[in-house]
Amino acid sequence: MFAAGVSAPQVATELENSTKSAYAWRRAWKAGGEQALASKGAPGPDPVLSEDQVQKLIAKLEQGPAAAGWDEDQRWTLARVRTLIGRMFHLTVSIATVWETLRRAGYTPQQPISRAAERDEQAIEHFKRYQWPAVKGSRAGWARGSVSPTSPASR
């Protein structure tokens, strides 16, 4: 657009951006041509793991925690993934770095939806029906009144 003689305010309007940005782009274009306007990538530090390492990590994660030595349960936690990264790539990374790496790879935080294999539904029902009411007590015994220290009901 600059090469065609379009002004910076017109470029800003056309691209729905600020005039200040358009003037900065024009200065960069005059100094370095089209290459100066090319994207320099995402801001911030470079990722700790290379793309190849991330792909290897994902492949290992898809095998499950048991394949990596965690037999207690079948959940990946950030701490476990951090340990796995240390084992696989001999790198020490922060939990935040693990989270960012997984987020960029398309993972989202999840809660397990399955119930424990040891869960006893009959025992739970028995507790809820017979024991919980005795523990809970009745509402009639609860003290009524205001929580306000200046209320006459709280004296």
Residues 6+ apart with CB under 8 A from 1: 10, 11, 14
Q: What is the DSSP string of 97-132?
A: HHHHHHHHTT-------SPPTT--HHHHHHIIIIIH
Domain positions in the chain are 8-37, 51-104
Q: Which two tokens stand for residue 140?
A: 């009639």
> pLDDT tens-digit profile of 72-124?
888 899 999 999 999 999 999 999 999 999 998 999 888 766 777 788 889 99
Q: What angle do CA 131, 132, 133 make, to 5 degrees?
A: 95
**pLDDT number for residue 132:** 86
As a whole number, mean pLDDT of residues 22-37 equals 92
State percent of the chain over pLDDT 70.
88
pLDDT at residue 138, as a whole number: 64
Q: What is the pLDDT of residue 11?
A: 93
Residue 109 confidence (pLDDT): 86
Going by pLDDT thresholds of 50, 70 and 90, the confidence category of residue 146 is low
- What's the rounded Cα separation, in Å, for the pair 59 and 74? 16
Tell me the C-alpha distance between 123 and 125, whole Å: 5
What's the rounded Cα separation, in Å, for the pair 77 and 107? Answer: 12
